[in-house]
Amino acid sequence: AQSATQLGSHVSVSEGALVLLRCNYSSSVPPYLFWYVQYPNQGLQLLLKYTSAATLVKGINGFEAEFKKSETSFHLTKPSAHMSDAAEYFCAVRPSGGYNKLIFGAGTRLAVHP
Amino acid sequence: DTGVSQDPRHKITKRGQNVTFRCDPISEHNRLYWYRQTLGQGPEFLTYFQNEAQLEKSRLLSDRFSAERPKGSFSTLEIQRTEQGDSAMYLCASSLSLAGEDEQFFGPGTRLTVL
């Protein structure tokens, strides 16, 4: 069965520091992978997606993620955190083929302090 | 139309009552999804429509839950005889099917509290 596992339910960084949010996936076939962000009382917004093209994916707001098949990982990074990055981040996997439901990880809450 | 809308945003009900939520997708989107998100968890898939056809239902969708998309536009999710365990955020998403992959756009959700 396909799954997305996020390591660390809470991550705290200083403003200007590197952001690293970890996601490992499980899939028997090459998956599509996504990162979404959720601000309080809002829906999910797509940050970036991997669809078997380039392994380094650039998204919005300065975020990027690298697909590593050997590690079954799709970690999200941003070189310099901003206060406005504080939110909940979700990794999701969608197996290629079949219908398009997303399977989400449990989420990582990012806190950014001055 | 600037995005997916959901109504109501909040619903408080007593155990045993029926509730219905509405989702209006982005107008040209032919796919519509319902997810449920409980506190501290990621969204869990409930059901999926392509146009008016309901093509997949999760085991999470018990007999008390029913979803419709009668004309392939808006969708409703009804929960009968609500239980406290139904308290959650119900998210709707829509997408436009293209060759290969499509992006799901999420609405703001309906937060259900069952007392």
How would DSSP label each residue in B7-65? E-SEEEE-TT--EEEEEE--TT--EEEEEEE-TTS--EEEEEEETTEEEEE-TTS-TTE
Mean pLDDT on B47-61:
90
Per-residue pLDDT reduced to its tens digit, B69-85: 998 899 999 999 999 99
Contact A44 B106 (CB under 8 A): yes
Contact A46 B103 (CB under 8 A): yes
H or E stretch at B103: none
**DSSP category for residue A30:** P
Contact A92 B42 (CB under 8 A): yes
Mean pLDDT on B41-68:
92
Predicted local distance difference test score (pLDDT) of residue B14: 97
Please tell me the least confidently modeled range out of A6-20, B39-53, B93-107: B93-107
The answer to whether A28 contacts chain B (CB < 8 Å) is no
Predicted local distance difference test score (pLDDT) of residue B13: 98
The answer, yes or no, to whether residue B100 has pLDDT greater than 60, is: no
Q: Which chain B residue is nearest to residue A105, measuring alpha carbons?
A: B42
Sites in chain A below the pLDDT cut of 70? 96-99
Please tell me the distance from the alpha carbon of residue A7 to that of residue A107, in angstroms, as a whole number. 9
Per-residue pLDDT reduced to its tens digit, A82-110: 999 999 999 999 876 656 789 999 999 99
Contact A44 B91 (CB under 8 A): yes
Out of B44, B95, B109, whose CB is closest to A100? B95
Predicted local distance difference test score (pLDDT) of residue A80: 97
